[in-house]
Structure 1
Amino acid sequence: MNKNIVFIAILSFSLLLSACSSEKKPSEAKAAGEEKGKKEVSKGSLEEFGTTLQKTIEGSNTLLDNFNKNLDGLYTAEVSNQQFANV
């Protein structure tokens, strides 16, 4: 049983090392150049996404603050169970 585990570990390790080459092949270099062009084109989309994400995070923080205040009120008995259920 131990021999099988060692054999599988050595085989996996050798496959991992042979698959991870440090040299770039010409086809990979071409693909990297194409990706750079895509990054430049999508800069406006990225800014739009950042704006939308920021608005979503701000809305989520507002909801979380509201929930936290009502939960604190429930703990200190300033808010009833019924009021907390309607939050």
Structure 2
Amino acid sequence: MKIESLGKYLLNAYGIFLILVFIFTNFQFWQTIIWGSYPLILLLKSSPESIIYIEINFGLYGISIICVLAQGMILYYVGNIIRKLLQKPLFD
């Protein structure tokens, strides 16, 4: 029971870490992937073979967070394009 709740806290902390990295890299997607993978590398080097599944879970969770952030970026840019198109007069 305590291990499961600790895992949830770690996953939430990793998600917050990825969001902060995404913000501090000025919303650069590839920099977020590079900087966001460092905690996974440290976990892989420090853990014995019996808990490698934790790294897999962290990796999948990180990929899902990054995909959500990428979807947000796409919606933001598409929204800006639509807004600019609607602001232009149809007939000059």
With normalisation by structure 1, the TM-score equals 0.41
Structure with greater contact order relative to length (CA < 8 Å, sep ≥ 6): 2
Larger radius of gyration: 1
With normalisation by structure 2, the TM-score equals 0.39
